[in-house]
């Protein structure tokens, strides 16, 4: 009886081992190699995204480190969010959300885009020259991918807080003095916001007054002071 039991245990162990080896071989066979890479929501080609993510065709789909690939993608300035899916047996699907420039900022090497969260994007082409310009920022801090420039975060937040139609009237956001933030329209109506406190209330007033004053043709230089949003003051200078 003990011999029969030992024989049974041996055969069972060998069967489990063969099953494990076979399963391992199957999972690492060419059947589960990456052959197709599909993307959605990105201005990059599938090949470019795969290169950024470090995904190569022919690698194991099941062995793909999705977290690492996602982290690499989200380090790209223009990519705000990335999700990677594996579809057996051979397809990687990458869903991307991209940042778009809401403004531009001058640097030593040209104008760079600035996203709504203050992230510095890449250098802009000629087609983006109508974006509002952010002034008062140290040019040495304008580097693609930089997210820590507080002046850019404040300026982008100001623009984001304005309705699109009002934002289109803006030519400049000046942040050289944090206690006197300024929004300047294309017709040179100047909005003085004071400091960054109570910005939503201040921007509500700007959104109401700026379109009205911007549409009035006048030789006078107009200033809207909303540093106290409950008591805005409009001044016209000769």
Helices (H), 60-117: 66-74
Q: Same structural domain for residues 92 and 181? A: no
Q: Same structural domain for residues 60 and 105? A: no
Q: Same structural domain for residues 51 and 1? A: no
- Confirm if 98 and 79 have CB atoms less than 8 A apart: yes
Q: Same structural domain for residues 202 and 212? A: yes
Strands (E), the chain: 36-40, 79-87, 91-98, 101-107, 110-115, 120-123, 133-135, 170-174, 181-185, 190-194, 221-225, 233-237
Residue range 25-47, pLDDT digits in tens? 555 556 678 899 999 998 899 99
- Confirm if 137 and 168 have CB atoms less than 8 A apart: no
Where does a domain end: 55, 74, 98?
98
Q: Same structural domain for residues 77 and 147? A: no
Q: Same structural domain for residues 39 and 87? A: yes
Q: Same structural domain for residues 125 and 209? A: yes
Q: What SS3 state is found at 218?
A: coil
Q: Same structural domain for residues 92 and 142? A: no
Overall number of domains in the chain: 3
- Confirm if 105 and 133 have CB atoms less than 8 A apart: yes
Q: Same structural domain for residues 124 and 54? A: no
pLDDT at 187: 87
Domain of residue 72: give its range: 33-98
Cα–Cα–Cα angle for 106, 110, 116, nearest 5°?
50
In angstroms, the CA 225 to CA 184 distance is: 12
Q: Same structural domain for residues 7 and 70? A: no
Residue range 47-101, pLDDT digits in tens? 999 999 999 998 888 888 999 999 999 999 999 999 999 998 889 999 999 999 9
Share of the chain above pLDDT 90, in %: 63
In angstroms, the CA 224 to CA 182 distance is: 10
Q: CATH no. for residue 40?
A: 3.10.20.310
Q: CATH no. for residue 212?
A: 3.40.50.11690
Q: Same structural domain for residues 143 and 226? A: yes
Q: Same structural domain for residues 128 and 195? A: yes
State the sign of the Cα–Cα–Cα–Cα dihedral 175, 190, 128, 38. Answer: positive
Residue range 120-153, pLDDT digits in tens? 998 887 665 689 999 999 988 899 999 889 999 9
């Amino acid at each position: 009886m003990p011999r029969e039991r030992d024989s049974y245990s041996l055969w069972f162990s060998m069967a489990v081992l063969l099953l494990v080896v076979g399963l391992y071989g199957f999972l690492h066979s060419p059947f589960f190699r990456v052959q197709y890479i599909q993307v959605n929501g990105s201005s990059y080609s599938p090949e470019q995204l795969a290169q950024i993510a470090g995904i190569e065709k022919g690698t194991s789909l099941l062995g793909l480190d999705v977290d690492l690939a996602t982290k690499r993608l989200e380090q790209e300035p223009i990519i705000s969010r990335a999700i990677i899916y594996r579809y057996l047996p051979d397809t990687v699907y990458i869903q991307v959300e991209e940042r778009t420039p809401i403004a531009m900022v001058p640097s030593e090497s040209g104008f760079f885009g600035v996203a709504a969260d203050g992230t510095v994007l890449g250098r802009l082409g000629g087609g983006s020259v109508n974006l509002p310009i952010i002034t008062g920022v140290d040019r040495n801090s304008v580097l693609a991918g930089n997210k820590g420039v507080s002046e850019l975060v404040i300026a982008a937040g100001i623009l984001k807080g304005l309705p699109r139609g009002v934002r289109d009237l803006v030519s400049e956001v000046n942040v050289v003095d944090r206690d006197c933030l300024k929004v300047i329209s294309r017709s040179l109506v100047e909005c003085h916001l004071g400091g960054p406190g109570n910005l939503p209330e201040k921007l509500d007033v700007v959104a109401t007054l700026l379109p009205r004053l911007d549409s009035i043709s006048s030789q006078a230089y107009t200033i809207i002071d909303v540093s106290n949003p409950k008591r805005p003051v409009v001044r016209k200078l000769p």
